[in-house]
Structure 1
């Protein structure tokens, strides 16, 4: 819509000299944008001569107030009511919003923005509802209260009923729980680390270990139809899904579930990947290896903006600017989402991190090992990946060909080249490779002997290897630098003169 609108405005400017009638232009714009949004109240009306265009005015209501002596606050012990939906008097569903707005399908209460209907609650568990000015104050109370300290208190909500009276005439009231409709409220209450029995900030390996242990304990095969156990099993699965993902874990540690949900919607930009060229000897590409590498990177000091005096916050300083999505006005009434750098309130520091590189047997030069979310951290961004690129270093004895074959050379004395030999040579990992020429088989200078299955391992997807390439050994025959008279006579007798062609 924004692009189309800008094109229309441009056309209007171009054709100003023609000066078409205002009614004509207004008709075009209203056909393009009038009535958008449905319901007859969400569109723009374009009018000239009075400041461009405007939105039709909605009826104005004066926000309702609670009577004197009735609290307008929601006591923290009643936070469990926030974001809940109830069936009211077996009639219709009503909602208790987290901001204290009460929503019901009546004339005064169906528009939350009008603030004509509100709710509050005191420490004794009494709930007050201002149902607009006509119906006035309603008072209800829960038949019992859930334990807010219990992570699974929401399981108790379906068993709670509300009852009371309307203040003006004593009409009886009752309500039955339907659902928690506000997922943001549910998310705000979640403690993913607590779900797994861990302290905040536990690392990914600890998270996975705790999940394996608890998933066995609460698996439906063991707990049957126990609803509490089923809820627990679901919660630990959700916690593991987020905390075992480095990018989601980082965002959760920074901004809770709100940041994770924003990432899932694509509202959070991703940081740049970090790249490291890592030299690996051919020997380790043959045998495989576990390499421990220490890197220094910028990390966000989680929790240090609120509590900078914590022990873990020592050495934490200012973070780089954050990148956030903001609305920018590009024309009257038209906005676009753009990235913008804003000063960060978080704290950062450089920190050493140890990583384990798994060099698999048969890895190729240029192959990559990726550590997800381990690039430098920056507030307001999903950390990029840290990518190690394998750089195969040269070996003094062996060279690699076609990915899986090896070539080398060995020196053979002239006598063995003529009479045959049975010798061995050390491979990359030290095991001995047998080289054989049977008596009567003459080894020619620079002859290449193929040893099947003694090349590089074939790496297969998912780890491991299935086969090996071949080893090619070039025979460098060592000739004597000089011969004695006796040696010349012996050779002359053994090898009669041959005609050359």
Structure 2
């Protein structure tokens, strides 16, 4: 089981964004690879801290994590702890460290020294929407989608940027009343990559990129909800040179089911029966996400009765089992009767067996509604 993100950073669940950032910076400096060369355990802690910060520093991701736990990001690529790329960490969070390791941020690749090197440019993210049936939501599914993404064209070569000499930064010295001040900013010529295109084929754009259609397999875990976003790392647009590919953001859209209504992990089914079936009892076939099942209705069943089929709902995305299927029994009253039928019911109006006699154990309509919402 993966370690809790709050526990990794040593903060409470109610911690502010500033407190989370401070805790991450402290851990990142403690386990930084420059301070712990060759220490695998320290490297793993460094990655864990970055993974936790990546989620908890983002309001949307933090809300999903608080609600669904680690399962909110299962199958989404994500950082994934031990599979996290060190260059991703320094590219995204290098500013967190400030001047703790010589100033100027980080870059240049893991293991090559991080003081003042050039950063790696990250490609743009792509976004798609995937529609799922209720059955696919309940069972989990792998979807193959076609994505048009930018990739580096064959035959592209690069040379060192003449403006920043490959550092990715431009340093400026300004004279002020307090003395000479030095500032560094991202190179506008190469956008911080430290490289410029030397040669490129005719079909490539000014950055040496071409558009290619690619089929991407997306593993969607059971129990996702409408509006949830999954991330497939590295399947967005590539970046020029030795950059980091962007991500593919997958927005989940749940299709409406013909007979089942979803409420969290529970499902609701409206079952209509006629008066004769209610009086005599019957069996009925109903829909579930795993196919049809037959249920038995007892004699004298009342309209409004709710039958609970445990475990026949949607699996919890947190792995806490499955919800239930609630079958709402509705006795259908006929609107037109023939002469014979009408005479029969006229005789039954004052019959003792037709006089309403609700049992004390039976809940009223308002009590049932209250139970549903509590």
TM-score (norm 2): 0.53
Contact map agreement 1:297 1:351 (CA 8 A) in 2: yes
Q: How far apart in 1 are the matches of 2:314 and 2:260? A: 11
2:172 to 317, 325, 328: 328
Aligned length: 232
Contact map agreement 1:246 1:372 (CA 8 A) in 2: no
The residue that corresponds to 1:471 in the other structure is 325
Call closer, same or farther: CA 1:263–1:459 in 2, change over 3 Å.
Answer: farther
User: How big is the shift at 1:406?
Assistant: 0.8
Q: How far apart in 1 are the matches of 2:180 and 2:232? A: 44
Q: How far apart in 2 are the matches of 1:369 and 1:246? A: 22
User: What SS does the corresponding residue of 1:370 show, helix, strand or coil?
Assistant: strand
The residue that corresponds to 2:126 in the other structure is 274
Contact map agreement 2:274 2:332 (CA 8 A) in 1: yes
The residue that corresponds to 2:343 in the other structure is 489
User: How big is the shift at 1:246?
Assistant: 10
Q: How far apart in 2 are the matches of 1:448 and 1:466? A: 24
Q: How far apart in 2 are the matches of 1:496 and 1:395? A: 43
User: How big is the shift at 1:284?
Assistant: 0.9
1:386 to 238, 248, 251: 248
Q: How far apart in 1 are the matches of 2:188 and 2:270? A: 60
Call closer, same or farther: CA 1:336–1:379 in 2, change over 3 Å.
Answer: farther
Q: How far apart in 2 are the matches of 1:448 and 1:263? A: 66
Q: How far apart in 2 are the matches of 1:263 and 1:350? A: 34
2:280 to 394, 407, 419: 419
The residue that corresponds to 1:442 in the other structure is 301
The residue that corresponds to 1:369 in the other structure is 230
User: How big is the shift at 1:302?
Assistant: 6.2
Call closer, same or farther: CA 1:261–1:442 in 2, change over 3 Å.
Answer: same
Q: How far apart in 2 are the matches of 1:303 and 1:336? A: 37
Call closer, same or farther: CA 1:349–1:404 in 2, change over 3 Å.
Answer: same
TM-score (norm 1): 0.40
Is 1:355 matched up with 2:207?
no
For 1:110-189, list aligned pairs within 5 A. none
For 1:34-53, list aligned pairs within 5 A. none
User: How big is the shift at 1:414?
Assistant: 1.9
User: How big is the shift at 1:275?
Assistant: 2.8
The structure whose Rg is larger is 1
Q: How far apart in 2 are the matches of 1:477 and 1:289? A: 37
Contact map agreement 1:297 1:375 (CA 8 A) in 2: yes
Contact map agreement 1:417 1:477 (CA 8 A) in 2: yes
The residue that corresponds to 1:294 in the other structure is 146
The residue that corresponds to 2:184 in the other structure is 337
The residue that corresponds to 1:452 in the other structure is 310
Superposed CA offset, 1:21-71 (max 9, x none) = xxxxxxxxxxxxxxxxxxxxxxxxxxxxxxxxxxxxxxxxxxxxxxxxxxx
Q: How far apart in 2 are the matches of 1:400 and 1:247? A: 42
Q: How far apart in 1 are the matches of 2:270 and 2:113? A: 57
Call closer, same or farther: CA 1:479–1:295 in 2, change over 3 Å.
Answer: same
Contact map agreement 1:425 1:433 (CA 8 A) in 2: yes
User: How big is the shift at 1:387?
Assistant: 1.4
Contact map agreement 2:262 2:268 (CA 8 A) in 1: yes
The residue that corresponds to 1:400 in the other structure is 262
User: What SS does the corresponding residue of 2:227 show, helix, strand or coil?
Assistant: coil
Q: How far apart in 2 are the matches of 1:242 and 1:361? A: 24
User: What SS does the corresponding residue of 1:476 show, helix, strand or coil?
Assistant: strand
Long gaps (5+) in structure 2: 1-80, 92-106, 159-165, 191-195, 198-206, 357-374
Call closer, same or farther: CA 1:458–1:408 in 2, change over 3 Å.
Answer: same
Q: CA RMSD in A?
A: 3.7
User: What SS does the corresponding residue of 2:321 show, helix, strand or coil?
Assistant: strand
User: How big is the shift at 1:490?
Assistant: 2.8
User: How big is the shift at 1:293?
Assistant: 0.9
Superposed CA offset, 1:189-244 (max 9, x none) = xxxxxxxxxxxxxxxxxxxxxxxxxxxxxxxxxxxxxxxxxxxxxxxxxxxx9999
Call closer, same or farther: CA 1:432–1:452 in 2, change over 3 Å.
Answer: same
User: What SS does the corresponding residue of 2:316 show, helix, strand or coil?
Assistant: strand
User: How big is the shift at 1:448?
Assistant: 3.1
